[in-house]
Amino acid sequence: MTANVLEPVVVREVGLRDGLQILPRTMPTEHKLQWVRAAHDAGLRELEVGSFVPTRLMPQLADTAEIVARALELPGLMVSVLVPNLKGAERAIDAGAHAMLLPLSASHAHSVANLRRTPDEAVDEIARMRDLRDARGSRCVIEVGMSTAFGCTIQGRVEPDEVLRLVDKAIAAGAERIGLADTVGYADPLAVSRLFTQARGVAGERLSCAHFHDTRGLGLANVFAAWQTGVRRFDACLGGLGGCPHAPGASGNVATEDVAYLFASMGVTTGLSFDRLIALRERLGRWLDGETLHGTLWRAGLPKTLRSAA
């Protein structure tokens, strides 16, 4: 009924990076490649396939260059990688990734503890990455992912004004896309509504992604609230991978299949196939035997009202 009047939404699968990076095991490259292909088959058109971090820090993602190379063969797929520093940016450019995701933490305490630099120093690094990209004649899109935008497990409260200041500064430093992230499950839909609205005032159309975890059950409510403010691109992990190290057993990222269902139920096009997503989730469960997958839709399946459409 409303499918024709509502703008489509893009779901970016980030499980290959955000999901796998916290698991102690390393998924074999062949399984990752199957995941990439099956995700593409299921209709996903943006994938974050890995991270160019030093291998000794994250051996699970050591094969990122190979995954990028193979993912680039798939038609119409935008391939992004996480890049923590200038060296990583160089590797992303060499690999030919379409976009590099640069982390920026709005929490001073979290930034120093995890990225070993203050937020303002991280912004300076973004500017250097932009300069490198331009000097190399690369067209790799620079996307900034602002984590702890809604609070921090170390520092607690994060002031919205600080988030907005950093959004503004990141854009000045070269961010072409910016997303707000709640990786610790502190966001609530009212805060999402307010902060995304304010950030849009600062960033305009460059504000182009929302990244939520479902740690405390509010993941999909937060996706909906961000969508109401005009966000049309959302990160998600198949099977809700990406649990928080600070909350053992808790849910991880919002589940790709659940986000797809949320939008389909509202009549918003995502281009995703439920059957294929659910089938891929089952394969993922076998590949990661012993890990807890999350998400809700897989148990109940589609409602009668959507089954014919799917």
Catalytic residue list: 244
Nearer to a second copy, 8 or 54 (CB): 8
- Rounded-to-10 torsion of CA 44, 46, 213, 309: -20
299 touching a second copy, by CB under 8 A: yes
266 touching a second copy, by CB under 8 A: yes
Residues 6+ positions from 308 with CB-CB distance below 8 Å:
none
How far is Cα 110 from Cα 98, in angstroms, rounded to an integer?
Answer: 28
Nearer to a second copy, 218 or 280 (CB): 218
Structure token pair of residue 165: 């200041």
218 touching a second copy, by CB under 8 A: yes
179 touching a second copy, by CB under 8 A: no
Are the beta carbons of 255 and 237 closer than 8 angstroms? Answer: yes
271 touching a second copy, by CB under 8 A: no
The total of other beta-carbon atoms located within 10 Å of residue 310's CB is 13
C-alpha radius of gyration, the chain, whole number: 18
How far is Cα 59 from Cα 65, in angstroms, rounded to an integer?
Answer: 13
Nearer to a second copy, 244 or 277 (CB): 244
Taking CB under 8 A as the criterion, the residue among 29, 188, 229, 285 binding a second copy is 188
186 touching a second copy, by CB under 8 A: yes
Structure token pair of residue 35: 């995941």
Binding site for a second copy (CB under 8 A): 2, 151-153, 156-157, 184-186, 188-191, 214-218, 220-221, 223-225, 244, 247, 249-251, 255, 258, 261-262, 265-267, 295-297, 299-301, 303-305
